Amino acid sequence: MSDVNVLIVDTTLRDGEQTAGVAFTTEEKVQIAQMLDQIGVPEIEVGTPALGDCEAEAITAITSQNLNARLITWNRPIIRDIKDSIAYGITSVAISIPVSDIHLKFVLKKSHRWILERVKEATLYAKRNGLYVSVNAGDASRADLEFLVHFMRESKTAGADRIRYCDTVGLLDPLRTYEIVTRLIDEVGIDIEMHTHNDFGLATANAIAGVRAGAKYVNTTVNGLGERAGNACLAEVVMALKHIDGIDTGVDVSQLRTISQYVEIASRQPVSPNKPIVGSNIFSHESGIHTDGMIKHSSAYEAFTPEEVGEQRRFLIGKFSGSHAIRYKFREDLGIELPEDLVPEVLSRVRKLSVQLKRSLTDEELLFIYRSICKDIFPNSTNSDRINNLVYN
C-alpha cells in the first residue's frame, strides 16, 4: 500500500440528508455516526446548527457518544452559527460560502470583498475559540481561478487549517480536477479537501483525481446520497483508492455493505442492484462466458473478492447461461449431477422461461424444469423410482 495519507470525511449526516425526500431521526443519525466510527471513518460531518432545535438535538446526541472520529459541523460565515456549534460540544467547524460569480451576482448579490471579510471574520473567531477550521469554497469549480487563489490565501492567513474545494454542481472532469488542485496546492500551500458531486457521474473519479493531485481529505456519503445526483460514494472512493491507487484509508471495507443497507433503510432511498461495491448484483454471474471463466478462476471477472466486502458470489441461471454453468449450478447448489444428454433440453427450457419471467430462475424453478424433463423421458408410473433417483440423488 502507498504511504500517502488520505482521510475520509463522511457527510452522510449533512449533505447526504439533503437528498430530496430524506430526513433522518436523531436515533438514526446517532446510529449512522456510530457505524461510520466503528468502520474507521476518521471524520464525520454531523449537521448544520442553523437548522434549529431538531438538528441541535441530533448533534448533541452524537457528540455525547465519545466517538473516535473528529466531528465537524457545517456553518455559514456567521458568528452565531459557530457559537451554536461550540455549545453543542463541537471542536471542528466547516465555514462555508459560495465563491463563484454566479452566486455572488445572482444569489448573494455581494462583492468579492464582502466574501473575504465574512470568511476572515468567522475564521478568526473560530480560531480564537480553539476550533479546527475547514473553509469551504462553495461552487469553487465555477469560480474565477485567480479569485479562488486569493480567497484561499486570505483564509489561510486567517487561520484556516484546510480548504474544501467544492465541485458543487459536478461540472469537473478528472483531468481538469487534477490541473486545478495541483495549481491550488502549489500556489497556496494548504491542505485540500475534495467535495465532489455526481451530476455527470464523475464524483468518485474527480475525488480520486484530487487525491492524485495532492488532496488529503475526501468527502463521501454512504450510497452516494446528496443533492440532485448525489456525492462521491463512500464505498466507491475507499475501494478505488485501495485497489487502483494502493492507498489504505483505514476504513474496514468488510462492513461497507452493512452500513449501506442500514442507510438504505433509514433514507428510504433504494440502492441499485448494480451499484458499485455494495449493489446486490456485483458478485452475481449469469453470462455463460463469464460464469465459465469464474468457475475456472475466481478472479476472471471480478476486480476483488466478495469476501473482502462481506458478500458472497452467486451464479445465476437465465437466458445467457451456458452448459458449464447449468451443470455447475445443479451439482453445487442442487446436489444433482446433470446427465450430459439432458443439458441441451434443460438449457433450452431455462432460456425460454427466463425470457417469459424476465429474470434469472430460482432453484425451485430449475428443479421444476428438471422434473418435467425427467417425466417426459419416463412418462410411465412404473418408472417413478428412476425419476426420483435422477432428481434427488
Q: Average pLDDT for residues 188-205, to the nearest whole number? A: 98
pLDDT band with cut points at 50, 70 and 90 for residue 260: very high
C-alpha–C-alpha distance, residues 72 and 314, integer Å: 40
Q: Which residue, 248, 249, 169, 180, is CA-closest to 214?
A: 180
What distance in Å separates the CA atoms of residue 198 and residue 247, rounded to the nearest whole number?
22
Is 90 exceeded by the pLDDT of residue 378? no
382 pLDDT more than 70: no
The Cα–Cα gap between 148 and 133 comes to 18
The residue that leads in pLDDT, 290 or 156, is: 156
* % of the chain surpassing 70 pLDDT: 95
Instruction: Please give the Cα distance from 57 to 279 (Å, whole number).
Output: 33
Whole-number Cα distances in Å, 377 to 290, 329, 342:
31, 22, 10
In sign, the C-alpha dihedral spanning 34, 137, 217, 245 is positive
The answer on pLDDT for 240 being more than 60 is: yes
Q: Please state the three-class secondary structure of 259-327 as a single string.
A: HHHHHHHHHCCCCCCCCCCCCCCCCEECCHHHHHHHHHCCCCCCCCCHHHHCCCCEECECCCCCHHHHH
| Stronger pLDDT, 243 or 290, i.e. the higher one | 243
| Three-state secondary-structure class, residue 368 | helix
Q: Do β-strands 284-285 and 314-315 pair in parallel, antiparallel, or remain unpaired?
A: parallel
Q: Is the dihedral of CA 77, 79, 81, 83 positive or negative?
A: positive
The rounded Cα 10 to chain-centroid distance in angstroms is 10
| pLDDT for the residue numbered 388 | 46
Condensed to tens digits (0 to 9), the pLDDT of residues 114-172 reads 999 999 999 999 999 999 999 999 999 999 999 999 999 999 999 999 999 999 999 99
Range ranked top by mean pLDDT from 95-109, 280-294, 372-386? 95-109
d(CA 162, CA 390): 69
Q: Kindly give, in sequence order, each residue whose CB lies less than 8 Å from that of residue 348, ignoring residues fewer than 6 positions away.
A: none
Q: Global pTM? A: 0.91
Indicate whether 348 pLDDT > 50: yes
pLDDT digits (tens, 9 = 90+) for 32-54: 999 999 999 999 999 999 999 99
- CATH class belonging to 7-267: alpha beta
Looking at residues 18-34, what average pLDDT do you find? 98
Q: What is the pLDDT of residue 376?
A: 80
The angle, 0 to 180 degrees and rounded to 10, between the axes of the packed helices 53-63 and 26-38 is: 30
User: How much is the mean pLDDT over the chain?
Assistant: 93
Please tell me the predicted confidence (pLDDT) of residue 1. 61
pLDDT for residue 390 is more than 90: no
CA dihedral sign, ordered 146, 148, 152, 154: positive
Closest by Cα among 187, 190, 182, 184 to 160: 190
Cell of 54: 431538531
Give the C-alpha separation, 214 to 224, whole Å. Answer: 23
Segment 215-230, tens digit of pLDDT:
999 999 999 999 999 9
In percent, the amount of the chain with pLDDT more than 90 equals 84
Rounded distance, CA 300 to CA 320, Å? Answer: 18
- Provide the pLDDT confidence category of residue 3 given band limits of 50, 70 and 90: low
Per-residue buried b or exposed e for 240-259, using 16+ beta carbons within 10 Å of the residue's own CB: bbbeeeebbbebebebbbbb
Residues 282, 308 contacting (CB under 8 angstroms): no
3-state secondary structure of 2: strand
Task: Name the 3-class secondary structure at 348.
Answer: helix
Q: Which helix (H) or strand (E) holds 351?
A: helix 343-357
